[in-house]
């Protein structure tokens, strides 16, 4: 009896609450249906009456008209009829017509409208229909329907629904009690044994049925995996915000600490005279990851490269950031100039960078650079081990500077969840084979639990490279690689930016930004402005966009004096000869175009080679008429997404290279081939002449996409996948423990 009450009492409460919620809802829907039927009925009656009423009005047959009205209201639902003239006077009405419904006033109904009015005698449905003869307005006909029958039907409906729930409750209660008494005790015992690691399918003396242990093990793993997937699917429906990332960490990853490893640090301390100045570097990696770190806390491990970095840290080489509202730590790793020259400028940026970018620059590989690369990766692995407070942290390894780091971390922290994200493209297998240490790079990256790329194409190129150069088992359906008894998932995670951007909040209005840019460069207010924002890198297509500007002025000379292009170029890797030569080429081409088309008071190209802080850059985004991203090869390119985020006025045009990852996400941009100079020039002309309405349509669509697929979603997807892997690993460890114990017993 006690067991039955445990089922029946909650069931009765739930059914009662459900009936309490459903009955008013059904009553509301029924009322809407009845009112809709009366609307249609009134329209039909009015249409039928319109001709005879018009004839009688024209003949001024008052008695005949009233008699016609009384015949019509013999219908049991039609309560009364009235007729108002052009002056809103009630000229004709039946004896039953309520005084509370005038032709004009609070309770009146406008011509060709319907309404339900609550009178003292009960609710009535009132419909007004215009009467015309030869397009001449004669008045409007008012039909009043009695709605008392609606109340009677509503009461019957409530009573029937109540009886239905009573019957359902009785049937469900009977079935529930029957099933509970038949199976409750055995079911609970079996589930308890399953969750405790036993075998519910075996008899009580389990030593006599060891062959059933694999069945119980598989069943237990399946139940736990299904439950984990259900929770993770629920998380995927959340709104992606910093709070959502924190919730994933605490709910799915049990609050595990997050460590980010990158070469570039999010905040650089430099001496400016006798004071320390904090600088945010011009880096897409920093743009994407810094909001994630502020949301998740933890520690960011990076190379300390600023002139005042050593003076800003504590004795443990830590510094709290951001300066205005500290929320996480930077752990700085130091290296000598010789190590930086070999590891960063040498192997990473003269070797891997041109190897992965199809920009027609030959990669250079030196054994001394490789040695420095290995040593620096090992130093960062040691820093990760020192910063980890547990044996299973979540480590986010960033970019091509640390291809060897995942395996090194795995050797020191076997239970860590290592998520490596490769921010640049991955070449096809044949091109990757140029690298003399290709197997070492692949071996290092396969120490990751998850290896992420911007696009599926780059991930497939990596799978092809592993297939060609390593002995590994590849499952292309699930994009996983089994190598050295470890499983690595290779997934696309298109990176994005924070939404809303914190750099937009403090910006002046768009018109003020437009005015400031033109005043800063001494440009007249009516001249249109194009914008490029990049590091001074040969992969960014800066020369190609300058040639497109030149071609535009050749083909469309009417733009001379009416259009200028501003290129914001942050100095980058100026120690490397290729970058020095490229910077010289950019300056030379800009000067040549300015000499050819410039004149007094007019300059076609403004080249600003200097570092710009994000607030300054976002001011340029807001004040320009279009922004061009003409990368020759790029992983994603976040400049395009920053420009969109900055344009809360929903104006401005984005011209985007087809060789960027962003082009796959933003088809509303003007997508071009940067090598096709004529096509790029045509895109510039189209951007300068695009109507505001079309700009708004394109920009609104792109802003909606970036709002939905922001950087918190990017990080959240990786963390959710990491949580799934960690849960599966825990299940496997629990499953293998009984098997190992069984093996020891059999040996005895």
Render pLDDT for 545-568 as a digit per residue (tens, 0 to 9). Answer: 999 999 999 999 999 999 999 999
Q: Which of 366-380, 492-506, 636-650, 715-729 has the lowest mean pLDDT?
A: 715-729
For residue 502, the model assigns a pLDDT of: 85
Of 734 and 102, more confident:
102
Peptide bond into 500 cis (omega under 30): yes
Phi, psi of 621 (to 5 degrees): -55, -45
Contact assessment for residue 642 and residue 618, using Cβ atoms and an 8 Å cutoff: yes
| pLDDT in the model for residue 488 | 94
pTM over 0.75: no
Q: Which helix (H) or strand (E) holds 80?
A: strand 78-84
Question: Which of the residue ranges 197-211, 313-327, 496-510, 667-681 would you say has the lowest mean pLDDT?
Answer: 197-211
pLDDT given for residue 207 in this prediction: 42
pLDDT of 745 over the 60 cut: no
Q: Of all helices (H) and strands (E), which one includes residue 303?
A: strand 299-303
pLDDT at 127: 87
Query: What backbone torsions phi and psi does residue 385 show, to the nearest 5 degrees?
Result: -60, -40
Task: Return d(Cα 340, Cα 346) in angstroms, integer.
Answer: 8
CATH 3.40.50.2000 fits 247-492, yes or no: yes
| Mean pLDDT calculated for residue range 364-374 | 97
Neighbours of 277 (CB within 10 A): 13
Annotated domain spans of the chain:
2-153, 197-202+209-237+711-748, 247-492, 517-709
What's residue 584's pLDDT?
96
Cβ pair 654, 671 in contact under 8 A: no
The top-scoring range by mean pLDDT among 101-115, 181-195, 255-269, 278-292 is: 255-269
Note the Cα 8 to chain centre separation in Å.
45
Average pLDDT, integer, range 570-590 = 93
Q: Which CATH number fits domain 2-153: 3.30.450.20, 3.30.1490.20, 3.20.20.30, 3.40.50.150?
A: 3.30.450.20
Q: Average pLDDT of 114-143?
A: 82
pLDDT at 177 over 90: no
For the chain, what percent of residues have pLDDT higher than 70? 86
CB-CB neighbours of 36 under 10 Å: 11
pLDDT for 81? 87
> In the structure, what pLDDT confidence band is assigned to residue 6 with cuts at 50, 70 and 90?
low
Cβ neighbour number for residue 643 with a 10 Å cutoff: 28
- Asked if residue 22 has pLDDT above 70, the reply is yes
Dist CA 226 CA 228 (whole Å): 5
Question: Same CATH fold, 517-709 and 247-492?
Answer: yes
> Are the C-beta atoms of 402 and 261 separated by less than 8 Å?
yes
Highest mean pLDDT among 78-87, 235-244, 494-503, 724-733: 494-503
Which has the minimum average pLDDT: 29-33, 205-209, 482-486, 526-530?
205-209
Q: What is the mean pLDDT of the chain?
A: 85
Least confident range from 15-29, 457-471, 494-508: namely 15-29
- Of 50-54, 222-226, 711-715, 738-742, the range with the highest mean pLDDT is 711-715
Q: Are 479 and 447 in contact (CB under 8 A)?
A: no
* Pick among 3.40.190.10, 3.40.50.2000, 3.30.420.40, 3.40.640.10: CATH of 517-709: 3.40.50.2000
pLDDT at 205: 41
What pLDDT, on a 0 to 100 scale, did the predictor assign at position 217? 54
What's the rounded mean pLDDT across residues 123-152? 81
Question: What pLDDT score was predicted for residue 164?
Answer: 80
Instruction: Give residue 484's pLDDT band: very low, low, confident or very high (50, 70, 90).
Output: confident
């Amino acid at each position: 009896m006690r067991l039955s009450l445990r089922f029946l009492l909650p069931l009765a409460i739930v059914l009662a609450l459900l009936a309490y919620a459903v009955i008013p809802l059904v009553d509301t829907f029924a009322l809407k249906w009845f009112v809709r039927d009366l609307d249609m009925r009134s329209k039909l009656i009015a249409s039928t009456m319109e001709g005879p009423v018009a004839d009688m009005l024209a003949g001024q047959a008052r008695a005949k008209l009233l008699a016609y009205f009384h015949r019509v209201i013999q219908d049991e639902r039609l309560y009364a009829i009235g007729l108002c003239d052009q002056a809103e006077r009630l000229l004709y009405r039946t004896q039953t017509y309520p005084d509370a419904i005038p032709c004009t006033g609070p309770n009146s109904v406008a011509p060709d409208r319907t309404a339900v009015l609550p009178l003292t005698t009960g609710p009535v449905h009132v419909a007004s229909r215009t009467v015309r003869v030869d397009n001449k307005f004669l008045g409007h006909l008012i039909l009043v329907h009695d709605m008392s029958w609606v109340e009677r039907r509503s009461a019957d409906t409530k009573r029937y629904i109540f009886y239905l729930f009573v019957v359902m409750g009785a049937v469900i209660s009977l079935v529930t009690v029957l099933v509970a008494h038949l199976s409750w005790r055995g079911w609970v015992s079996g589930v308890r044994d399953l969750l405790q690691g036993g075998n519910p399918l075996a008899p009580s003396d389990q030593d006599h049925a060891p062959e059933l242990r694999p069945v119980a093990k598989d069943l237990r793993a399946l139940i736990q995996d299904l439950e984990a997937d259900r929770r993770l699917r629920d998380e995927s429906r959340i709104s992606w915000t910093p709070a959502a990332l924190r919730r994933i960490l605490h709910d799915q990853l049990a609050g595990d600490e997050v460590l980010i490893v990158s070469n570039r640090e999010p905040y650089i301390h430099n001496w400016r005279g006798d004071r320390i100045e904090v600088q945010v570097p011009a880096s897409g990696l920093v743009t994407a990851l810094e909001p994630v770190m502020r949301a998740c806390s933890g520690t960011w491990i990076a190379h300390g490269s600023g002139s005042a970095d050593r003076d800003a840290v504590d004795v443990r080489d830590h510094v709290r950031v951001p300066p205005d509202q500290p929320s996480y730590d930077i752990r700085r790793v130091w290296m000598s100039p010789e190590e930086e020259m070999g590891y960063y400028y040498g192997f990473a940026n003269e070797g891997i960078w041109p190897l992965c970018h199809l920009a027609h620059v030959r990669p250079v590989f030196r054994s001394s650079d490789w040695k420095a690369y290995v040593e620096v990766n090992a130093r960062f692995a040691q820093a990760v081990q020192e910063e980890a407070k547990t044996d299973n942290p979540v480590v986010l390894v960033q970019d091509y500077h640390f291809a060897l780091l995942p395996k090194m971390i795995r050797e020191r922290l076997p239970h860590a969840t290592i998520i490596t994200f490769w921010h640049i493209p991955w070449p096809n297998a044949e091109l990757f084979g140029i690298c003399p240490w290709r197997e070492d790079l692949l071996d290092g990256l396969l120490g990751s639990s998850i290896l992420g790329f911007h696009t599926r194409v780059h991930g497939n190129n990596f799978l092809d490279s592993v297939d060609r150069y390593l002995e590994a088992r590849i499952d292309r359906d699930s994009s996983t690689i089994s190598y050295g008894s470890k499983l690595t998932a290779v997934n696309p995670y298109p990176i994005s930016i924070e939404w809303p951007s914190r750099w937009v909040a403090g910006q002046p209005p768009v018109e003020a930004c437009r005015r400031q840019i033109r005043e800063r460069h001494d440009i007249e207010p009516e001249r249109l402005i194009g914008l490029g924002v990049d590091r001074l890198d040969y992969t960014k297509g800066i020369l190609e966009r300058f040639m497109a500007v030149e071609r535009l002025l050749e083909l469309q000379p009417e733009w001379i004096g009416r259009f200028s292009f501003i290129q914001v170029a942050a100095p980058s890797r100026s120690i490397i000869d290729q970058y020095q030569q490229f910077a010289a080429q950019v300056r030379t081409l800009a000067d040549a175009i300015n000499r050819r088309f410039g004149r007094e008071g007019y300059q076609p190209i403004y080249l600003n080679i200097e570092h710009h802080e994000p607030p300054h850059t976002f001011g340029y985004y807001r004040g320009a008429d279009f922004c061009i991203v003409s990368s020759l090869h790029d992983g994603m390119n976040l400049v395009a997404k920053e420009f969109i985020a900055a344009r809360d006025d929903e104006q401005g045009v984005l011209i985007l290279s087809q060789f960027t990852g962003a082009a796959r996400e933003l088809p509303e941009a003007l997508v071009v081939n940067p090598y096709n100079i004529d096509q790029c020039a045509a895109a510039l002309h189209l951007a300068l002449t695009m109507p505001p309405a079309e700009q708004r349509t394109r920009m609104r669509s792109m802003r909606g996409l970036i709002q939905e697929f922001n950087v918190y979603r990017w990080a959240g997807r990786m963390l959710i996948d990491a949580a799934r892997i960690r849960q599966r690993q825990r299940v496997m460890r629990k499953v293998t423990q009984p098997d190992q114990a069984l093996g020891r017993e059999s040996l005895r």
